Chain A
């Protein structure tokens, strides 16, 4: 069974995601449990949406009155970043044949961070990437199920605040990116502007939109400000390149 052999080869490299997805999946299952959902709904969300931040954001929506337009907008806003994972995997996923639809479906932040750093080297590319995706997907669903089942054994009062793990994940990724940028800047690889522009534009645009519009509908303005910021910088640098 070549699939089993590839799974074995790929497994050690997915360990960071194993621990991360199990923990966050458990947190997600527990958070859903705390809002009164049994194991079926969280498991379906994890199987078919398969996106951590999206699923956490939906918990809140599921306990409100049905607002399809809000859900649509929220999904676009939270998931829009996946467009860019796709853009950078265009070449790598070319010619992966029967695996391609699943590879595209399962391109999460974590899977992206793994596949972008581990080309298949002599293996069947489609099968190699599919094994990474499949393992990650299994971790996420297993975590969800565990959390959902554990959550039913624990009194929910003890669980208040466990969904902070999503915020913590983003803080960790932000910190990791900042340390990375700092190291590159220190080594002279990039300018201070290059290191600071992207995160500051994101943070400040969102903060400004939040203060201006309030909690419910600020993400759209934030996205517009971010795109305007990038477009302005691109056009300015374009002018600099010409002169």
Chain B
């Protein structure tokens, strides 16, 4: 990428992000209320989106070699287990990432 193209990448992404963050405020200005379905969807989506993003992050997992799946899946499982055990966000993230980096070099 050239510098111009990188700047455009930044602009597109920043523009879309701020537009998505602002859209509800622009649509429901003043006293306009969102319809019941949208309110319900808004309450449901955080859990859906997070599950989607976990799968998205693990998209490069492949089962043809053990190096293709062991580090990512084991580290993800360890992160979840660590979080159920200690419930310390930073500890879970740091522990899972450390295990992933270790397994990446061992498997």
Asked if A212 CB lies within 8 Å of chain B CBs, one says no
Q: How many residues of A contact B (CB 8 A)?
A: 83
> In the bound complex, how far is the Cα of B45 from the Cα of A242, in angstroms?
25
**Shortest 3 CB-CB contacts between residues of A and residues of B:** A86-B24, A202-B48, A202-B51
B100:A161 contact, CB within 8 angstroms: yes
Closest beta carbon of chain A to B100's beta carbon, Å: 4
B24:A90 contact, CB within 8 angstroms: yes
> A7-51 vs B: 1/0 string, CB under 8 Å?
000000000100110011001000000000000010011001111
13 of the cross-chain contacts (CB-CB < 8 Å) are: A16-B89, A53-B53, A66-B5, A84-B46, A90-B24, A160-B104, A161-B97, A168-B76, A181-B47, A202-B48, A202-B55, A206-B52, A218-B59
> What is the interface residue range for chain B against chain A?
35 or more
> A166-197 vs B: 1/0 string, CB under 8 Å?
11111111111101010000000000000001
> In the bound complex, how far is the Cα of B44 from the Cα of A19, in angstroms?
27
List of A residues within 8 angstroms of B92 by Cβ: 168, 171-172, 175
Closest beta carbon of chain B to A225's beta carbon, Å: 10
List of B residues within 8 angstroms of A100 by Cβ: 25
Other than the given A79-B16, A210-B55, 5 more pairs (CB < 8 A) read A87-B34, A167-B57, A197-B44, A206-B52, A230-B48
B6:A62 contact, CB within 8 angstroms: yes
**Chain B residues within CB distance 8 Å of chain A:** 1-2, 5-6, 8-10, 12-14, 16-18, 20-25, 28, 34, 37-60, 71-72, 75-76, 79-80, 83-84, 87, 89-90, 92-94, 96-97, 100-101, 104
B53:A83 contact, CB within 8 angstroms: no
List of B residues within 8 angstroms of A150 by Cβ: none
Q: Which of A82-107 contact B (CB under 8 A)?
A: 82-88, 90, 93, 100, 104-105, 107
Asked if A3 CB lies within 8 Å of chain B CBs, one says no
